[in-house]
Structure 1
Amino acid sequence: MKFKLGSKIIQSNQQPYVIAEIGVNFENDFQRAKKIIKLAKEGGADAVKFQSYKAEKIACKNSPYYWDLKEVNVKSQYKLFKKFDKFGFKEFNQLKKYCDKLKIDFLSTPFDLDAVDYLDNLVPFYKVASADLTNYPLIKKICQKNKPIVLSTGASNQKEINNVLKFINKVNKKIRVILLHCVLSYPTNNKDANLNLIKSLKKTFKNKIIGYSDHTLPDQNMIILTKAYQNGAYVIEKHFTDTKGLKGNDHFHSMDKDDLIKFRKNIDLLNKIDGNLKKREILECEKKSRINARRSIVAKNNISKGERLTLNNLIMKRPGFGISPTKIFKVLGKTAKKNINEDSIINFKDLI
């Protein structure tokens, strides 16, 4: 498996493509946005992702909430989105230039048709949010841009995934689609993460790259993201912040720079211990152990010249310099050419 996404070539047994989703965690502060981008780069992210929307184009004014009110105490989608919809092409264009300077991919999820248009010159591919998996007008517009689509599958069923893939193929057969397993719940309880669905998606869509968009609370050792990678997720997306655990927005379920570094180290270790052997071979590091820890056929006691060798006067002992125990039946019944001392390694030259 090998493919290019953004500026990175992704291969099996190598680091995944990591999207640090800043979203609106910069809270309309341009300098803070740059600060978080820099932290993401330092942590090892391949891309940072924002969200491009206007409240009046994404939600009715009476749209109810779907998040944890203990963390985000706003009951109206419209009010929450209105609070953080201040950036447009001008600001994102400047942030794109800053990303180019740091050599990290710039992304932003479009939530309306205008955003699709102005992001076309800024993003290497489009990310479609789980909630817009059935938003065919938006997806059609994206398909017309001839760029890869990374599609989150949260809150969908198999039929809906099949249908949207058929729709994309109908609109533009050349579009490459990467599917992300996702659970549309903020935060996602660990028991609901269902990471085995990554394996299921890989089995069902054999010609598609599969990834994971995570909304669980960051665990101490970043095991959840690591397990997602082990299950076959080669694109990893998770919210990212400079203020981990802060209430409001997506801070409370976001990872930070230290989390990302820890995750990258986990993957390095996994790939190191997985190795690349296709069949069992003797490793260089095993050669000394192979000789010294394996056994040879040894004299159990003093053996006199002319004495016949039997299981009563032989024993299998380390090291493995002599005749291998696998050849015991070639030794049994032979006689000693000379006296053989107890604890001596048997050699064929001493036998007749």
Structure 2
Amino acid sequence: MVEFIAEVSSNHNNDLNRCFDFIETAAKIGCSGVKFQLFKIDELFAKEALECFEELRNRKKWELNEKYIPEIAKCCADNNIKFICTPFYLDAVDILGPYVNAFKIASYEILWQDLLSKCAKTKKPMIISTGMATLDEVKFAVETVFDNQCTDLTVLHCTSNYPTLPQDCNLSAIQTMRESLPKNIKFGWSDHSVNFGVIHRAIHKYDVSMVEFHMDLDGKGKEYQMGHCYLPNQVESLIKSVKDAFLADGDGKKEPQDSEFKERLWRADPIDGLRPLRGIRDSLCKRQ
């Protein structure tokens, strides 16, 4: 079955209780994991960039307090949901290591060899997003983590645009990567489209095993207005629709379903072409 990963991103508003609400909600609506980000803007952006752009400096409010990590991990364990986190500075790997079920590498950090290597050496499962990347760049990241003892890797196709139009999703690149990368890699889709059709296509055409998506609780998160976040009721409907789609496959035998048997009686008789079958017409009338 597909794993659904709820990306909290900066919608936690640096509120621990809100983090707990995200975790409990994600578990309740059927997600397999919940993902946070651990960054400090001073170690995320160059000094020159921070001096030039106020909007980057304002992201200070988006930081997650490092002290929350143990409690977030406990809440995830209590709710039987995986705790996944993206480290954006090297020391974050050490902070997260004792607590996370998996490390996630963001698209923007896919070329940072030191970060890739440090996460891989923990021997924790890894997830790598590939937005903006060329195939050669993806190969570099994969080789780096495999060379550093990673044995459980999921590569997520992604388009780094918020939100992403369906025509920019380029889902067929999933198959390109599958044919070009080692066979022991799992593949997924990191969604910014907020489009059920796109996600169904990724799952049912390209056989992804993981779907990551941004979620907000109530439309009050710091990223919600950007237009790439789902609300919980949407996620719940999405997960149900995916499960229903798999149920619809059936067993492949071309035989009447149990629910069809009463209708079989009303098929046209092969002799006179009238409904229902002649053999049951009298008995049907007696039932009235």
After TM superposition, the score normalised by the length of structure 2 is: 0.84
CA distance in 1 between partners of 2:145 and 2:24 (Å): 35
Counterpart selection for 1:229 from 186, 203, 222:
203
1:169 aligns with 2:139: no
Matching residue of 1:180? 156
Matching residue of 1:56? 42
- The residue identity in structure 1 corresponding to 2:93 is V
- The residue identity in structure 2 corresponding to 1:202 is R
Matching residue of 2:167? 191
CA distance in 2 between partners of 1:318 and 1:29 (Å): 66
> In the TM superposition, what whole-angstrom CA distance separates every residue of 1:60-117 from its partner, at most 9, and x where no partner exists?
13338xxxxxxxxx945641432222511x2111111122222222221111111111
CA distance in 2 between partners of 1:273 and 1:97 (Å): 37
Name the structure with the higher helix share: 2
- The residue identity in structure 1 corresponding to 2:203 is Y
- The residue identity in structure 2 corresponding to 1:137 is D
1:255 aligns with 2:221: no
Matching residue of 2:249? 274
Cα distance, 1:287 vs structure 2: 6.4
Percentage identity across paired residues of the two chains: 27
Aligned CA distance change for structure 1 residues 190 and 76 (closer, same or farther; 3 Å): farther
CA distance in 2 between partners of 1:226 and 1:38 (Å): 25
Higher mean Cα deviation, 193-202 or 16-25? 193-202
After TM superposition, the score normalised by the length of structure 1 is: 0.69
- Residue aligned with 1:23, SS: coil
1:35 aligns with 2:13: no
> In the TM superposition, what whole-angstrom CA distance separates every residue of 1:198-242 from its partner, at most 9, and x where no partner exists?
3333343443211111112x34xx333222222312111111111
Matching residue of 1:82? 60
> In the TM superposition, what whole-angstrom CA distance separates every residue of 1:280-325 from its partner, at most 9, and x where no partner exists?
44244466767874875x5xxxxxxxxxxxxxxxx98888999xxx
CA distance in 2 between partners of 1:169 and 1:25 (Å): 32
Flag structure 2 segments of 5+ consecutive residues without an equivalent.
Answer: 280-288
- Residue aligned with 1:211, SS: strand
> In the TM superposition, what whole-angstrom CA distance separates every residue of 1:144-171 from its partner, at most 9, and x where no partner exists?
1011111111100111111222222222
Point out which structure has higher relative CO (alpha carbons under 8 A, 6+ apart): 2
- The residue identity in structure 1 corresponding to 2:11 is N
- The residue identity in structure 1 corresponding to 2:202 is A
- The residue identity in structure 2 corresponding to 1:256 is L
RMSD: 2.7
- Residue aligned with 1:91, SS: helix
Matching residue of 2:123? 146
**How many residues are matched?**
274
1:103 aligns with 2:90: no
Counterpart selection for 1:124 from 94, 101, 104:
101
Higher mean Cα deviation, 200-209 or 223-232? 200-209
Aligned CA distance change for structure 1 residues 93 and 177 (closer, same or farther; 3 Å): same
Computing the radius of gyration over CA atoms, which structure comes out larger, 1 or 2? 1
Counterpart selection for 1:133 from 104, 110, 117:
110
CA distance in 2 between partners of 1:250 and 1:114 (Å): 29
> In the TM superposition, what whole-angstrom CA distance separates every residue of 1:29-86 from its partner, at most 9, and x where no partner exists?
112222222222222211111101111111113338xxxxxxxxx9456414322225
CA distance in 2 between partners of 1:40 and 1:32 (Å): 12
Matching residue of 1:24? 10
Aligned CA distance change for structure 1 residues 240 and 161 (closer, same or farther; 3 Å): same
